[in-house]
Amino acid sequence: MNKKITALLREQATKRFLEYVRIDTQSDPESKMSPSSEGQWVLGRILREELIELGLEDVELDAHCYVYATLPGRAGCVGPPITFCAHLDTSSSESGANVRPVIIRNYDGGDIRLPGSGKKHLTTAESRELLQFVGETLIFSDGRTLLGADDKAGIAEIMAALAAFKAFSELPHPELKIVFTPDEEIGAGTDFIQMNRVGKYGYTMDGGMMGEIEAECFDAWGMDLLFKGRNIHPGYAKDQMINAASIAARFVAALPEWETPEHTEGRAGFYHVTRIEGAENSAMVKLIIRDFDKSANQRRMDYLKNLAQLFERRYGGLEININAKDQYKNMNEVLHRHPEAVDKARRAIALADVAVRENPIRGGTDGARLCFMGVPTPNIFAGAMRVHSKTEWIPEVALEKASEVVVRLCALWCEV
């Protein structure tokens, strides 16, 4: 790929990324709206106009804040229609308001001071990946908020590739279906997607470290436990009160500590409490369970049910109701039947002169759900590190290389 194209990809991806992260699109898991936050509409409207400016067709921002667009295939490209997908929202775990990106040029390999957070630093011990980008330009949050590279980097990279297709008519591509989804971070990214606006194969630009391709993800469940107790005046409560909040806390303490995110990595699954609240009469515990193996998750669900029965026997009159929700399945169940989708991504990353990293993703993407909706959709790196945190960062070279992977993938699909 010539230097003019790579220069345009870097310039476009970086410029757009720095603009997008300043828009607060944090999703809200407690909202009943779709999308769950107004900021997603703001970014959606901006992207709609930018897609029109880039010459795409059938551009739409629909009633649920999905952004769609089509780029007709180049003459001579006979490949199937391909979707590139990224999500508008950022994590509800940290604020996405008033993001102030910090740019560090020619990184020297030392610890990073985050200027918006007083004396806080990000050390190379905490993020060893920093040492792989000595001499590069890095983009950080200033330490007050997350950065929003998950997934505004993915959006910027797709948009940069589209800008390159407009500027360089010699770049081949099949028909492209662009989809930007809302509320992915709260598990609703494909709830209202229009499947007639999606291609035969897809790629989410939503992964981490530069070079990653992910064709396997967690089997994922959400669990809501409602504890129903009985309140009595505390002065006369002996053998009478059933304190739902206290019992819920004891229940959480009884979960296996070494099966939590703080103590697991690789292919190990976990229980993860996301919320606990309540009072004497009623308390709620929300948690997620994750594993690559369905049977291991079934074991965890059985453990929760058995523990609930034990607590009900221990505290006569206590009632624990459990509601389980299937959030997404391991996309490898589908992708192993479509090796061509993963193989082309692998080849595109190598052609971009990036080392290919194949790992199971310890999370999920819109692609995991799209796989089970009939569109094989592996996940490709966007380049963000330490996502969902105030120490989130991304190397500028990852923005460029991910954009290049999109361009090279399109050429490979033209070889079909």
Active site residues: 89, 184
Q: Which of 329, 364, 352, 334 is nearest to 398 (CA)?
A: 352
Residues near 114 by beta carbon (within 8 Å), at least 6 away in sequence: 102, 120, 121, 122, 140, 141, 142, 143, 390, 391
Q: How far apart are CA 157 and CA 206, in angstroms?
A: 10
Do 17 and 399 touch, CB atoms closer than 8 A? yes
For 204-232, give the DSSP string: EEEE-STTEEE--B-EEEEEEEEEE-B--
Do 229 and 345 touch, CB atoms closer than 8 A? no
Do 375 and 201 touch, CB atoms closer than 8 A? yes
Do 189 and 81 touch, CB atoms closer than 8 A? no
Q: Which residues pair with 82 in a beta bridge?
A: 176, 201
What's the distance, CA 279 to chain centroid?
Answer: 33
Measured from the Cβ of residue 97, the count of other Cβ atoms closer than 10 Å reads 11
With vertex at residue 333, the alpha carbon angle to CA 356 and CA 346, rounded to the nearest 5 degrees, is: 15
**Pair type for strands 393-395 and 138-140:** antiparallel
Residues near 73 by beta carbon (within 8 Å), at least 6 away in sequence: 79, 81, 173, 174, 175, 176, 414
Q: How far apart are CA 267 and CA 249, in angstroms?
A: 28
Residues near 105 by beta carbon (within 8 Å), at least 6 away in sequence: 137
Return the sign of the alpha-carbon dihedral for residues 9, 157, 361, 91: positive
Which tokens sit at 254?
């009884």
